[in-house]
Amino acid sequence: MISSLKQPASFSHGSHFITSRTNLVTPGCLPVLPSLRLPRISAVSLSKPLHIGAPPIERKRKELSTSIGCSAYEAGRSEPVADARSESARKIKIGIYFATWWSLNVVFNIYNKKVLNAYPYPWLTSTLSLAAGSLIMLVSWALRIAETPKTDLEFWKSLFPVAVAHTIGHVAATVSMSKVAVSFTHIIKSGEPAFSVLVSRFILGETFPPTVYLSLIPIIGGCGLSALTELNFNMIGFMGAMISNLAFVFRNIFSKKGMKGKSVSGMNYYACLSMLSLVILTPFAIAVEGPQMWAAGFQQALSDIGPQIVWWMAAQSVFYHLYNQVSYMSLDEISPLTFSIGNTMKRISVIVSSIIIFQTPVQPVNALGAAIAVLGTFLYSQAKK
């Protein structure tokens, strides 16, 4: 009779313990009310009847409620919180890359135009830019500032078409800026997304929604309007910017494909690209311009500008490498089309800063064309989402 009365009591206590433990696992990990009296629970005690008069152990109860309750709550949220933080950190990282990339590009364009105004030899200027970048990275590897990339023959084979496209685009853009205003070159180069879509569609076989194609209309129309109303229009400058657009689209596509499955980071990838482009460009630069023209032009620049021309040439070479290096670090994180969008949006700051610094005369119709082209680029980026 006594044993039969004990069993319901233990069952009652067991039910109360389970209910209390459920209430303990709360998001706030609140302490248990002092009025609750929980018995010692162990593997042995579970097999025996529990007694109503069992002494409470407050410390064990609080430790149990805190550890189990908080752990259950945090364990359920650890993955979403980590994913959210990781995505936020990635967006901040890309934002810093883009801001640095655009700022360095503005400085490069200013010094590049100063050099070309005083020393109009774009092939040599382009060669010096690649040489400076190659030297910077060789020194960085030698001093272990940057990790030396591990490359093989297959890597250099896949890099070769990228280097060819990069060399063509680099020289063509420099030739363009030697003939026309910086703002005009970048207005024409803002049409790069149109080239990217056309190349992706007809060569790579990719398809896009109708809104993407419609967004190309203001881009092309704005660039055309700016070209027609440009006060200092030059066909060589115009064609140089157009060729640069096409070459850089291929460079971005080849780069993204070449970087897949490779252990070489974006920074070292661009360093290797600069070195290979330098090897490709040097013989052509010598054939087109040559040391005699370079020496005569340098003497003329020294007499017109003074030793300051040396600083300008060094600055444009170094900043060219730095802004391209950061842009390739961005390419590690984004697609080629997004890269083209970022490359186009940076031109707003370049166009505005160059107009202010060089006091470039701009007609209202010309400014309208530039604004339409930039608006088209924005619409394009929205259609690509």
Q: Please indicate, yes or no, if residue 86 is contained in any of the structural domains.
A: no
If you average pLDDT over residues 146-161, what whole number do you get?
Answer: 89
* 64, 146: one domain: no
Q: State which of 45, 79, 113 marks the end of a domain.
A: 79
* Least confidently predicted of 51-55, 90-94, 201-205: 51-55
DSSP 150: -
Which pLDDT does position 166 carry in this prediction?
Answer: 93
Q: Please indicate, yes or no, if residue 324 is contained in any of the structural domains.
A: yes
How far is the C-alpha of 123 from the C-alpha of 50, rounded, in Å? Answer: 93
* 19, 157: one domain: no
Total count of domains within the chain: 2
pLDDT band at 196; cut points 50, 70, 90: confident
With a cut of 50, say whether residue 188 has pLDDT above it.
Answer: yes
**Who has greater pLDDT, 32 or 91?**
91
If you average pLDDT over residues 127-137, what whole number do you get?
Answer: 95
* 111, 65: one domain: no
Asked whether 172 and 241 are in contact (CB, 8 A), the reply is yes
pLDDT, tens digit, 9 for 90 and up, residues 216-268:
899 889 888 888 888 778 999 999 999 999 998 898 788 777 666 566 777 88
* 200, 260: one domain: yes
* 75, 108: one domain: no
Q: Which of 84-88, 90-94, 221-225 is modeled with the greatest confidence?
A: 221-225
Q: 181: which residues sit within 8 A by CB, 6+ positions away?
A: 230, 232, 354, 358, 360
Q: Please indicate, yes or no, if residue 112 is contained in any of the structural domains.
A: yes
* 15, 157: one domain: no
Which pLDDT does position 82 carry in this prediction?
Answer: 66
Q: State which of 19, 49, 79 marks the end of a domain.
A: 79
Q: 330: which residues sit within 8 A by CB, 6+ positions away?
A: 94, 97, 98, 101, 266, 339, 342
Q: 238: which residues sit within 8 A by CB, 6+ positions away?
A: 176, 180, 188, 227
As separate numbers, helices (DSSP H) first and strands (DSSP E) second, the chain gives 13, 0
* 36, 137: one domain: no
Q: Please indicate, yes or no, if residue 91 is contained in any of the structural domains.
A: no
Which pLDDT does position 356 carry in this prediction?
Answer: 87
Which pLDDT does position 340 carry in this prediction?
Answer: 63
Which pLDDT does position 177 carry in this prediction?
Answer: 94
Q: Please indicate, yes or no, if residue 365 is contained in any of the structural domains.
A: yes
* 174, 318: one domain: yes
Q: Please indicate, yes or no, if residue 349 is contained in any of the structural domains.
A: yes
* 70, 131: one domain: no
Instruction: State the amino acid at position 73 in one-letter form.
Output: Y
* Least confidently predicted of 75-79, 100-104, 299-303, 326-330: 75-79
* 51, 156: one domain: no
Tell me which residue of 280, 291, 271 sits closest to 124, measured CA to CA.
291
pLDDT, tens digit, 9 for 90 and up, residues 111-121:
999 999 999 99
Its domain, for residue 58, covers: 2-79
User: Structure pTM?
Assistant: 0.71
Q: 283: which residues sit within 8 A by CB, 6+ positions away?
A: none
* 138, 52: one domain: no
Torsion of CA 373, 377, 383, 385, to 10 degrees: -170
If you average pLDDT over residues 147-174, what whole number do you get?
Answer: 92
With a cut of 70, say whether residue 280 has pLDDT above it.
Answer: yes
Which pLDDT does position 42 carry in this prediction?
Answer: 47
pLDDT, tens digit, 9 for 90 and up, residues 33-61:
444 444 554 444 444 444 444 455 555 45
- The number of residues making up the chain comes to 385
Which pLDDT does position 80 carry in this prediction?
Answer: 61
With a cut of 60, say whether residue 6 has pLDDT above it.
Answer: no
* 63, 125: one domain: no
How far is the C-alpha of 200 from the C-alpha of 207, rounded, in Å? Answer: 8
Instruction: State the amino acid at position 155 in one-letter form.
Output: F
Q: Please indicate, yes or no, if residue 316 is contained in any of the structural domains.
A: yes
Q: State which of 44, 79, 114 marks the end of a domain.
A: 79
pLDDT, tens digit, 9 for 90 and up, residues 328-371:
777 667 766 666 667 667 878 888 888 888 888 888 888 898 88
Backbone φ and ψ for 324, nearest 5 degrees, come out as -70, -35
Q: Please indicate, yes or no, if residue 135 is contained in any of the structural domains.
A: yes
Could you give the percent of the chain with pLDDT greater than 90? 34
